[in-house]
Amino acid sequence: MPLEILLILVVLGIASIAVMLHLSGRSKRARLTAESAGAAWERHFPDDQVTGVIAAQDGHAALVTTSAGVGLVWAFGADTVARHLVEVDLDDTTRGLRFRFSDFTAPSVRVALAPEERQLWRNTIQAT
């Protein structure tokens, strides 16, 4: 088979898979509620006991209080990522907070928060 035809078949195959995934709804960002954020945290850190969850209004992040301290869960596509808030720097942005971790796998995350949420989150993080 000529290389040109093979290249066209591969590109069309990948594009058709991407379109099928999008049309079936699998490309949507995860929506986090207090319950789903707690379950996501326990999936990432099974040894921690979740004691409280504050979900962001947009549903794409949550602040989790655990037996090991405070942590952040956020949507990463259809899945979630979670990090303990140890050695984290907080910066205000125009739309929320920026978390800068000392972790090369997730150097920083921007979380969209309403102004009243932003202060609640800051107070919760600084209380620990």
pLDDT for 105 equals: 83
Query: Residue 3: pLDDT band by 50, 70, 90 thresholds?
Result: very high
pLDDT at 94 over 80: yes
Q: Which two tokens stand for residue 126?
A: 């600084």
| pLDDT single digits (tens) 17-51 | 999 988 887 778 889 999 999 999 999 999 999 99
Average pLDDT over residues 100-124: 90
pLDDT for 29 equals: 81
Q: What is the pTM of this model?
A: 0.78
pLDDT for 53 equals: 96
pLDDT for 106 equals: 83
Q: Report angle CA 47, 51, 54 to the nearest 5 degrees.
A: 115
Cross-strand pairs, 72: 63, 83
Instruction: Decide if 71 contacts 78 (C-beta within 8 A).
Output: no
